[in-house]
Structures are given as C-alpha cells and as structure tokens.
C-alpha cells in the first residue's frame, strides 16, 4: 500500500486547519496509510474530531541532537548539494524574512528526508505554499520522493520560492480559479502553469444533515471566522444596527478569535439595545457543526473584504460547511467567493456595504420561499462540487501520478 505524508502547520493539533483535518480523515477512511508531519510541534488537541489522526502523526522540534547530527552528516557528505539547496531557499527567497523562515525549517527537513525514505513514503503533500511546502521541497530534493503542495491565497502572495517549488513538484493544487490565476501570474511560465490544477477543499456531505427546521422566534445569524480584517466583521455589526432600526428580530453570533476581538466587542457594545450580538470565542469544529446539525443557526454571514494591502479570501470553507447543511449563506463578491455562490446558491453583496447586507438578511427573515430555495441550491452545489469523497478520489489519482 502506498504511504502518503502530509505536511501541515499544526494539524491535527492547534485551533485552525480544520479543512485539512477533514481531508486527511477522508483519505484515512479510504484506507490511505497516512503520516502527518506538523511543521510546528504542539500538544494542543483543540478539535476532538482530529484525535484519530494523532496515531499517524510525527511531531518533531525545530532542532535536537539527532536533527543536528543528520544535518552535519548531510553537509559533510554532500557539500555542493547543500550549497545548491541553501542558494534556492535562502539567497533566492526574495527577502530576508522569507529566507530566515526557510532556514529555520531546513534542519528538520534534512532529518525527515531520511525518516520518510526509511518509512517507505511514496508521496509527500504539503498544505500551504509557505514553509510547509519549503520543507516538502527540501525533503523531496534530498530523498527523491515525489511531492506536491496546496496553495491557498495569502500564502501565494508571499511568493516563497514558488517558481522553484512548481518546477520541482509533481503538481500544484490551488483551491479556486482565482488562486490558480494568481499563482500562474507569479510563475509566468506556460510549461509550469500546466502543473497548476484547481481542486477545491471539500466537506463531508454524507454526515452533514440538519434536523427539520423549527421556526425560530428570533432569526439566528452566525459568522464563523477569525477576527481579522479580511473577514469584514465591522460591516456585519453595522448591518445589525440597520436591522434593529427596521424592527427585525435577530440574534448575531460571532464564532472566532483574533487580534480584532477587543475592537469588535467595543463596537458591539455601542449598538442599540435591540441588537443581540454574542461573541462565542473559537469553537471546536465538531461543536460548530453540531450547531448546524441541531438547527441552531438560520443563516451564515461572512462579510469578507479585500484589505488595503490586498489580502483576500479564497473559497471560505466556513461557507461550504454551512451550505452542506442546507443553511443559506451571505457573503461578498471578493476573492474566490463568486466561484462558490455566484450562481445563486448563496447571496452575494458588494464588500463594505452594510446597507445591502442588512437588506438581504431582512429578505431571508421575511421571505420563507426564498429561504427554502437558497437552502436547496446551496446543498446541491456542495454535493456536486465540494464533496470531500469526490475530491479525495481526485487527489489520490494525482498522488499516484495516474492522471494530471
């Protein structure tokens, strides 16, 4: 049986990367012999659903005696090869910050090149075009094991030796067409562009079933997103004020944490008394999906923006998950979002437009037929284009090299 290594940032540990956990669990269910290697060592198992993956996870520190010894052995045995790799990951990195980050993961990557070879790993896949894929690149160069990586969005803009990585990788996956175009523009090489494929992130449609809806006296909105600028929370809070002025009865739940937490809570405190806004903090993934399954959420809102420094969304898995439960979603026409809901399977408004956001929320509250139509369209879209079973089948084809 083929053995596949997945390189992540922290998954299965940590509070984020739930979409990678879903993917790895699906691969494991298909009988894949998986070895998970987090870039960062961690013992925090926040998402209970990730626990089965810990059996297949190898956590290593940045450096220890064994890693240092393996690095010294490599340098002494292959000095020219060492200089070649260092030249690529450091001197061609484009800036000092990227070079330093690559150098930090280099010793562990050299050590893992022997570990993965001895473990009979047949393919390495890294999530993120940043340092996890730097690790995979180095491991592959030293061990000869084929590799690939998934590029999301912000990691593409960083341009961490992307041309060298695309040249070395068996294939490169982007999660939306916009990401593929961005990456192709950076690479600017038609031959290498042929390696770049769009393969969406997926969700487990089979298990995502919502109980029959019970009419809620108060319409419940949920925004499941990190409290960072690109998520646009402030425009959701502004729309809450507008909805309150219109006499709409609603509850707005915000699930996530991040650097804007204090600012957003202060803004919420300044809203009228009729605005019921609650900050839930970061929720374990199974808790969030449980809220959907139990019918606790009527609509999911993600008022994403393109920030002043150009940071934007890919296709948010938070929206895909809600749609898989038949929960209507509202978002903006930014990043990869139109690829998900631009066909009418969700509602899109212009970014930074709280008035329009309030209008479409009000329509969902008051128009039951429209609500049911969106619920059905969203579920159908996810079943067709974002079904994790179909997506992991495609990945397994690519890992094996059967088709590109």
Q: What CATH architecture does domain 219-385 belong to? A: 3-Layer(aba) Sandwich (3.40)
pLDDT of amino acid 212: 62
Burial of 269 (0-12, 13-18, 19+ CB in 10 A): exposed
Task: Tell me which residue of 160, 154, 204 sits closest to 175, measured CA to CA.
Answer: 154
Q: Cα 109–395–21 angle (5° rounding)?
A: 65
pTM, two decimal places: 0.93
pLDDT under 50 in the chain at which residues? 404
Other Cβ atoms less than 10 A from the Cβ of 377: the count is 18
What superfamily would CATH give domain 3-202+387-400?
Answer: Glycogen Phosphorylase B; (3.40.50.2000)
Peptide bond into 12 cis (omega under 30): yes
Other Cβ atoms less than 10 A from the Cβ of 355: the count is 12
| Contact between residue 325 and residue 294 where contact means Cβ atoms under 8 Å apart | no
Burial of 390 (0-12, 13-18, 19+ CB in 10 A): middle
Query: Which residue intervals of the chain bear CATH 3.40.50.2000?
Result: 3-202+387-400, 219-385
Helices and strands (DSSP H and E) totals, the chain: 17, 12
pLDDT of amino acid 217: 77
Task: Tell me which residue of 329, 332, 330 sits closest to 313, measured CA to CA.
Answer: 332
Tokens 């006296």, residue located: 217
pLDDT of amino acid 44: 85
pLDDT of amino acid 128: 97
Task: Using alpha carbons, list the distances in angstroms from residue 64 to 69, 162, 204.
Answer: 8, 29, 39
């Amino acid at each position: 049986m083929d053995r596949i290594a997945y390189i992540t940032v922290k998954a299965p540990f940590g509070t984020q990367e739930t979409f990678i956990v879903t993917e790895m669990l699906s691969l494991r269910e298909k009988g894949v012999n998986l070895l998970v290697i987090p870039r960062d060592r961690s013992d925090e198992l926040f998402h209970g659903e990730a626990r089965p993956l810990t059996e297949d996870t190898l956590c290593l520190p940045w450096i220890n005696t064994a890693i240092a010894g393996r690095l010294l052995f490599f340098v002494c045995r292959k000095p020219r090869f060492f200089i070649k790799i260092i030249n690529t990951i450091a001197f061609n990195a484009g800036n000092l910050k990227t070079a330093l980050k690559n150098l930090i993961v280099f010793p562990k990557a050299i050590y893992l090149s022997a570990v993965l070879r001895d473990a009979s790993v047949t393919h390495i896949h890294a999530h993120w075009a940043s340092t996890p894929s730097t690790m995979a690149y180095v491991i592959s160069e030293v061990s000869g094991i084929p590799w690939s990586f998934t590029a999301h969005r912000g990691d593409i803009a960083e341009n961490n030796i992307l041309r060298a990585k695309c040249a070395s990788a068996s294939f490169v996956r982007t999660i939306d067409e916009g990401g593929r175009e961005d990456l192709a523009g950076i690479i600017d090489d038609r031959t290498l562009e042929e390696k770049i494929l769009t393969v969406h992130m997926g969700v487990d449609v089979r298990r995502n079933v919502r109980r029959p809806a019970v009419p809620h006296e108060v319409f419940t909105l949920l925004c499941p997103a990190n409290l960072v600028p690109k998520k646009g929370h402030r425009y959701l809070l502004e729309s809450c004020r507008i909805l309150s002025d219109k006499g709409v009865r609603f509850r707005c739940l915000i699930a996530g944490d991040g650097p804007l937490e204090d600012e957003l809570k202060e803004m919420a405190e300044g809203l009228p008394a009729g605005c019921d806004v609650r900050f839930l903090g970061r929720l374990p993934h199974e808790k969030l999906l449980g809220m959907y399954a139990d019918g606790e959420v009527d609509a999911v809102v993600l008022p994403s923006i393109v920030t002043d420094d150009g940071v934007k969304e890919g296709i948010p898995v938070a929206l895909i998950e809600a749609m898989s439960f038949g929960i209507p979603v509202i978002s903006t026409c930014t990043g990869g979002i139109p690829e998900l809901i631009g066909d009418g399977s969700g509602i899109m408004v212009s970014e930074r437009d709280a008035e329009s956001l309030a209008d479409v929320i009000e329509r969902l509250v008051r128009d039951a037929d429209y609500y049911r139509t969106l619920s059905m369209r969203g579920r159908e879209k996810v079943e067709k284009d974002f079904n994790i079973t179909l997506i992991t089948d495609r990945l397994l084809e690519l890992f094996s090299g059967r088709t590109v």
